Structure 1
Amino acid sequence: MGNDKFLKIAVEEVRRYTEEHLENPQDFDIYVVWVCKTLQNNKALLSTTLSDGMYFEATYNGDKKELYLDAYKKEKNVCVKVED
């Protein structure tokens, strides 16, 4: 599957999932953070403009013609100083 078709389906699934889990309906946009295609498989990381800390991983298995959607909630952001 090409990236354009894959991303269209992934964005639709993120929208469906998010709308099903919103307590208060509101407008939001979905954006793609990263996308990759390897052989017959696609993967993308997506998020929304909502401030709920959610992000999504969409994976298309080209062998099985299946899309998997994982939903994650950001728990913490830690800064780690690294010396050269």
Structure 2
Amino acid sequence: MTDIKFIELCKNEVVKYTNDHLDKTDGKQISSDDVYIVWLTKVLQNNKALLSTTLFDGMYYELTYNGDKNELYIDAYKRKDRPTRNI
């Protein structure tokens, strides 16, 4: 799978997941223009990307494409805490 096709697939999956999980009473929906790539890699026939959206919801998404099985896995994470300390 090319990088361009993988990025398009990832953005579409994040849009679907996010829109399915947004509060319906808000009437808010996002598009692929609201999704951005944080990190992307390809190793042999496998791809992995970290994505986020322009929403202020603390969510980020890890998508992995298994080229051997032609499967896409999506993991959704919410940042809970960002502790800081002096070192």
Same fold per TM (> 0.5)? Answer: yes
1:49 maps to 54
- RMSD of Structure 2 on Structure 1 (CA): 1.1
**Residue aligning to 2:67:** 62
Compare the two structures and name the one with the higher helix fraction. Answer: 2
Residues of 1 paired with 2:40 and 2:72: CA distance? 14
- Structure 2 unmatched runs, 5+: none
User: Runs in 1 of length 4+ with deviation above 3 angstroms?
Assistant: none
In structure 1, runs of 5+ residues without a counterpart are none
C-alpha separation in 2, matches of 1:7 and 1:36: 11
Q: Report percent identity of matched pairs.
A: 54
Aligned match of 1:26 in 25, 28, 35? 28
TM-score, length basis structure 2: 0.88
Q: Which has the higher contact order (CA 8 A, sep 6+)?
A: 1
